[in-house]
């Protein structure tokens, strides 16, 4: 994608994503990270996937509710990338162009992990769609919150307990699916160590937040002084 910020002379914002399996604590850590950045004077927006723009939020409901077998792997992947395209065009790129930092709960790595590995679609289809839809856009830093599958699912079920319409479609999938997607996140991190960092998410929210802040300082320290 083109970079309107460069053309206008405005410093481009930074793009940080949080990834991980169900119950890893991404939403909690997103809020903590955004608050911390704001305290340092950084203009920041919080967003999420699937969702993050009006069109993408409509697609989100198709993906996170209903029966586990609602879609086959390719249909599910196409829906995610349709939502992602709208999200990027309507929310992410405009924010980066005006110099804001974007902190996003999930991005394209989730599709690779969930559909490419979890549903066993494979890397090539996901990589092809990413090239077509994103045009080279990648996060500046991806923090992958890593947690044993059973622990994460227990957390997620506790979070959704009592909800009238829980977004629990992925949580209801078989354990083997969740094990494969965790392996997927590990492989992604190993392939792109300059962008991705695995973060042990088994500690308290405060401990995990401190690890994330340290990683952000190490990557972007010059921009936070």
Q: Residues comprising the binding site for ATP?
A: 20-27
- Token representation of residue 152: 């994460």
Strand partners, 151: none
142 backbone φψ class: left, alpha, beta (φ>0; ψ -120 to 50) = beta
CA 78 to chain CA centroid, nearest Å: 17
Q: Are the CB atoms for 38 and 44 separated by under 8 Å?
A: yes
* Angstrom distances, CA of residue 175 to CA of 68, 152, 155: 12, 11, 15
Enclosing H/E stretch for 191: helix 175-191
Helix (H, G, I), strand (E, B) or coil at 203: coil
What residues form the annotated binding site? 20-27
* Angstrom distances, CA of residue 201 to CA of 46, 133, 208: 20, 30, 6
- Token representation of residue 27: 């939403």
């Amino acid at each position: 994608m083109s970079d309107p910020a460069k053309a206008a002379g405005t410093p481009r914002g930074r793009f940080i994503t949080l990834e991980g399996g169900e119950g890893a604590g991404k939403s909690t850590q997103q809020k903590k990270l955004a608050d911390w950045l704001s305290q340092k004077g950084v203009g920041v927006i919080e967003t999420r996937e699937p969702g993050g723009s009006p069109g993408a939020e409509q697609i989100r409901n198709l993906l996170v509710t209903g029966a586990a077998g609602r879609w086959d792997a390719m249909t599910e992947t196409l829906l995610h990338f349709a939502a992602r395209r709208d999200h990027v065009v309507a929310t992410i790129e405009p924010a980066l162009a005006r110099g804001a930092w974007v902190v996003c709960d999930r991005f394209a790595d989730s599709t690779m992990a969930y559909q490419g590995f979890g549903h066993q679609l494979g890397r090539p289809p996901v990589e092809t769609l990413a090239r077509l839809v994103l045009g080279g856009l990648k996060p500046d830093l991806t923090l992958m919150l890593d947690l044993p599958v059973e622990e994460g699912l227990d957390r997620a079920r506790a979070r959704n307990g009592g909800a009238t319409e829980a977004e629990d479609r992925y949580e209801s999938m078989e354990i083997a699916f969740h094990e494969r997607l965790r392996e997927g996140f590990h492989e992604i991190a190993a392939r792109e160590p300059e962008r991705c960092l695995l973060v042990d998410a088994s500690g308290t929210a405060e401990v995990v937040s401190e690890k994330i802040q340290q990683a952000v300082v190490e990557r972007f320290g010059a921009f936070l002084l």
